[in-house]
Chains A and B, each alone.
Chain A
Amino acid sequence: MTGQEKKAFILLLPVMLVIGTLFVGGLLLGLLRSFNYMPVIGLDDPSLDAYARVFANDEFWTALALSLYISVVSTAIATVLAVASALVLRETFKGKRIVTFLFQLNLTIPHVVGAVAILLLLSQSGFLARLGYFGGLIERPSDFPAMVYDDWYLGVIVQYVWKETPFIGLITLAILQSVGADYEAVAQSLGANRWRRLTQVVLPLIAPGVMRAQIVAFAFTFGAFEVPYLLGKTFPTVLPVLAYQRYTDVDLGLRPEAMAMGIVIAAVSTVLILGYMALSRRLGRT
């Protein structure tokens, strides 16, 4: 180890210790419990029973599919909106500072607060429904289309798109600024029109960075609990809510199943993230 490396190691040690104990320690304890090991309630023979029970349950597969659907759809929509906004925001125009400020404002708002806002806005007795009532469009609350607690998890997706767009957008904006305008200028001098400059120069240049931002957004929405808990249907529900239901069941014997679901969430996220990172590296090389 060189002197420089040693110094970096020592400086990073406190952070690594905290992460090591809390995160890895928590993960290991979760893993132990998911193997049906919980001596305090008489489970002291490790086994894969909890996983077997989880995988044999249709509710689990539905929840997994639903979680994937919500994460994929909301991340995809947010990416399109984010890249489009970033391309607009990098131009100079009047009032740019205010627009940029408004664009990133909701990054500071917690997800739970956002979810309650969506509820007040979109529910059948929410703000839009009331406007519809006063405007004579609907006669009773149930005439307003169901956008929360609905089959398609619209409210949940709207909330995630609302929250993820500025997140991916700001990262894209930073990448665009670091890439600069040189490549585009070259392409323009070679006769590329706006569309070709966008699709063949700008987008390939920013794609690896945007994909990394997508990974963070995807992993978050896949593992998040509070928004689908507040805005989602009772059944079917997403994987984190299902795990929470198992974990808070008064039957302590269900804790290993809750832990097994937690481990599955972590494993699926890890696999997808690794795969996506490999893909973005390959894109970055070409």
Chain B
Amino acid sequence: MPSTSLSGRGARAALTSIATAGAIIAGIATAPLAQADDVAAMNWDQLVAAGKGKTVNWYMWGGSAKINAYVSDWVNPQMQQRYGITVNRVAIDSTVDAVNKVLGEKEAGVTSGGSVDMIWINGRNFQTMKQAGMLTCGYMEKMPNNANINWQDPTIAFDFGIPVDGCETPWGRAQMVVVYDKARTPNPPTSLEGLLAWAKANPGRFTYPALPDFTGMFFVKHVLYHEAGEYKPFIGGFDQTVFDGVAPKVWTTLRELEPSLWRKGETYPTDRAAMHQLFANGEVDFTLATHPDSVGSDIESGTFPPTTGSYVLDGGTVGDVHYVAIPFNSANKAAAIVLANFLISPEAQYEKSRPEVWGVRTALDLTRVPAEWATKFANLPRHPAVVDDAALARGALPQPNSEWIKPLEDGWREEVLKK
């Protein structure tokens, strides 16, 4: 291999030969499937026929026993029974692992017969895959259950401000809530301003996860909206002037908060799980949950004390939608599309919304589903510690456009973490 020479040509030749070899191997491996893979020209019945007998390799975060059980023990048997499709849940730590896998395949020239058929995704990972052309798009209209989705709703049609453009299927909704212990903090602060003041008055009893953690980012976004006084400037693409105007105020607020944080802000919990642990152990008095219903299940499982409560901040909290997407080189596209369609059926969404199963809010527009289903959804039991729908809906703020995330992350590292 000529890669010992570091000239552009040598390196390029080496990589091209590796890529070619990969493409040839992949080509041989998937030759008989090539025709079945061409989903663009298929109608729904043809997709169902092509998907029969296939296995969908679904890469998803594997950190919750409840979520895992929903997919493996409920979705999978349903899919086998209805469509003869097997759902193989592949547990990963972080969505970026699946993105890296598809990226690696793309680099090796594996344009069909790839190993990832579906990814649970949203936000910046979606942006990355969409930009790099790593997604299958344009199959929404083929799916009968697409009628249950309100694509006019901007929180559905835009994923962190990025147009979905038919490249992913909405799967559920989340919204940040503040979690506290009624026994320790009978009168929790109800606004972000109040929360910051409370943290300063009670040194060492509040913290938030270090960015780029998802939950930590939720908190910083709230501070951003709070300092700007509104969320509207951040819904559109990145604007350096707006950022330069508001970012210093955000860093000042967070830096002033630091001495009052857990461990004086010298370090931060790595992620949501670490912060939940601090709250459960009584090291801090608040934690943040991005799925409102998880508070109920964490109480039931004994993670949180029974006196735990949760609420939405005055002025609202950031909500977001999570999706499933199909990589451009999926080996079982037809089967994956059939699965995506099933996931947005009222049955599958209702099962997912039941508190004892997963307890996550539906992505469906309940005015579009059959009336009996709308009633069932409306009558879903709620854990008393979980914020009710009305309060969530009153206070739902949109996510900033994902172009704002990177500057916020970098700025937080430079201006808060390192100072």
Contacts and interface: CB of A to CB of B under 8 A. Distances in A.
Interface of A: 28-29, 31-32, 35, 37-41, 44-46, 59, 124-125, 141-142, 146, 149-151, 229-230, 233-235, 245, 247-252
Given A142-B283, A149-B267, A234-B270, A40 B103 contact: yes
Given A32-B3, A146-B263, A251-B406, A234 B282 contact: no
B1 A28 contact: yes
Interface in B111-139: 124-125, 127-128, 132
A234 B267 contact: yes
Given A32-B11, A235-B413, A149 B263 contact: yes
Contacts of A141: 281-283
B259 interface: no
Interface in B220-270: 262-263, 266-268, 270
A37 B417 contact: no
Given A41-B132, A234-B210, A252 B103 contact: yes
B8 interface: yes
Contacts of B143: none
Contacts of A250: 96, 99, 124-125, 127-128, 406
B283 A125 contact: yes
Given A125-B278, A141-B282, A248-B97, 14 more contacts: A28-B14, A29-B18, A31-B3, A35-B6, A35-B11, A44-B12, A46-B8, A46-B12, A141-B283, A142-B263, A234-B210, A250-B127, A250-B128, A251-B128
B3 A28 contact: yes
Contacts of B210: 234-235
Nearest to B97: A248
Contact of A39 (B15, B124, B282): B15
B211 to A, nearest CB: 9
A235 B417 contact: yes
Contacts of A44: 12
Interface string B4-17: 00111001101100
Nearest to A44: B12
A37 B283 contact: no
B74 to A, nearest CB: 30
A246 B107 CA distance: 19
Contacts of A29: 18
Chain B: number of interface residues, binned into ranges:
35 or more
B417 A234 contact: yes
A233 B283 contact: no
A46 B15 CA distance: 12
Contacts of A59: 418
Best-buried of A40, A59, A124 by chain B (most CB within 10 Å)? A40
A234 B268 contact: yes
B128 A37 contact: no
A142 B8 CA distance: 56
Contacts of B1: 28
Nearest to B216: A234
A23 B262 CA distance: 42
Best-buried of A37, A45, A229, A230 by chain B (most CB within 10 Å)? A37
A40 B11 contact: no
Contacts of A151: 266
Interface in B200-232: 204, 210, 212
28 contacts: A29-B18, A31-B3, A37-B12, A38-B107, A40-B106, A44-B12, A46-B11, A125-B281, A141-B282, A146-B263, A149-B267, A233-B266, A233-B267, A234-B210, A234-B268, A234-B270, A235-B210, A235-B267, A235-B413, A245-B212, A248-B94, A248-B97, A249-B212, A250-B96, A250-B124, A250-B127, A251-B128, A252-B128
A235 B418 CA distance: 7
Contacts of A39: 15, 107
Best-buried of B18, B128, B267 by chain A (most CB within 10 Å)? B267
B276 to A, nearest CB: 12
Given A40-B103, A234-B210, A250-B127, A142 B204 contact: yes
A116 to B, nearest CB: 11
B80 to A, nearest CB: 34
A16 B334 CA distance: 41
Contacts of B8: 45-46
A201 B198 CA distance: 66
Contacts of B278: 125
A214 B103 CA distance: 38
Contacts of B107: 38-40
A51 B103 CA distance: 22
A122 to B, nearest CB: 13
Nearest to B209: A234
Nearest to B103: A40
Given A141-B283, A142-B204, A32 B15 contact: yes
Nearest to B3: A28
B11 to A, nearest CB: 5
B300 to A, nearest CB: 22
B123 to A, nearest CB: 8
A44 B262 CA distance: 46
A258 to B, nearest CB: 11
A141 B205 CA distance: 10
A141 B204 CA distance: 10
Nearest to A47: B8
Nearest to B405: A250
Interface in B1-51: 1, 3, 6-8, 11-12, 14-15, 18
Contacts of A46: 6-8, 11-12
A230 B107 CA distance: 31
In the complex, the 8 A-B pairs of residues with the closest C-beta atoms, listed nearest first: A125-B281, A250-B124, A234-B210, A149-B267, A233-B267, A141-B283, A248-B96, A235-B417
